[in-house]
Amino acid sequence: MGQEIERKFLVTGDGWREGAEGTLYRQGYLAKDKERTVRVRVAGAKAYLTIKGRTSGTSRAEYEYEIPLKDAEELLNLCEGPLVEKTRHKIPYAGHTWEVDVFHGDNEGLIMAEVELQSEDAHVEMPDWAGKEVSGDVRYYNSSLSKKPYKMWTDT
């Protein structure tokens, strides 16, 4: 079991880039409705199967299992719709590890930062490259970005 509590922000500027190393993530969804998502993720040389429940505020039940890379490559072909590709950078800042995702392909242009918290009301010190918060905005869910990629948005 797990409980995922995270906040998400758009990224402004390049202040986070110095010394940041990235890992290519490729992921797809075997299920992506409001009640549950089942994600297949290849992260560098590792691979995971992740199930998440409905989001409530900034929290969500989460179950993650490492699976063989070879299985994951095959499972990506079973996924519905286009894959989401991004390069993830892990950036320590003021006691938290921020994850900055630079999206590729049909989501090119989108850069998003996530920070995982121990509790919903945990204090987070904001780096100056963290812009508008988009935690509750479903359009920014990776499962949504697979259905309606960033390049198709007309109102931003």
Catalytic residue ranges: 29
Helix (H, G, I), strand (E, B) or coil at 73: helix
- Select the span of 27-35, 110-118, 120-128, 148-156 touching its own copies (CB under 8 A): 27-35
> Among residues 1 and 156, whose Cβ is nearest to its own copies?
1
- Select the span of 16-24, 74-82, 90-98, 107-115 touching its own copies (CB under 8 A): 74-82
Which of 35, 121, 128, 155 binds its own copies (CB under 8 A)? It is 35
Contact 86, 101 (CB under 8 A): yes
- Burial of residue 143 (CB within 10 Å: 0-12, 13-18, 19+) is buried
Which pair of structure tokens corresponds to residue 133? 């918060």
Q: In the chain, at which residue ranges do the beta strands (DSSP E only) sit?
A: 3-11, 22-33, 36-43, 46-53, 59-66, 80-93, 96-103, 111-116, 130-133
In a 13 Å sphere around the CA of 116, the CA atoms on its Cβ side amount to 9
Query: What is the per-residue binding string for its own copies in 39-68, x denoting contact by CB under 8 A?
Result: ----------x-x-x-------x-x-x-x-
Q: Does 82 bind its own copies (CB under 8 A)?
A: no
Q: Does 81 bind its own copies (CB under 8 A)?
A: no
Give the residues lining the site for its own copies (CB under 8 A).
Answer: 1, 30-31, 35-36, 38, 49, 51, 53, 61, 63, 65, 67, 70-71, 74-75, 78-80
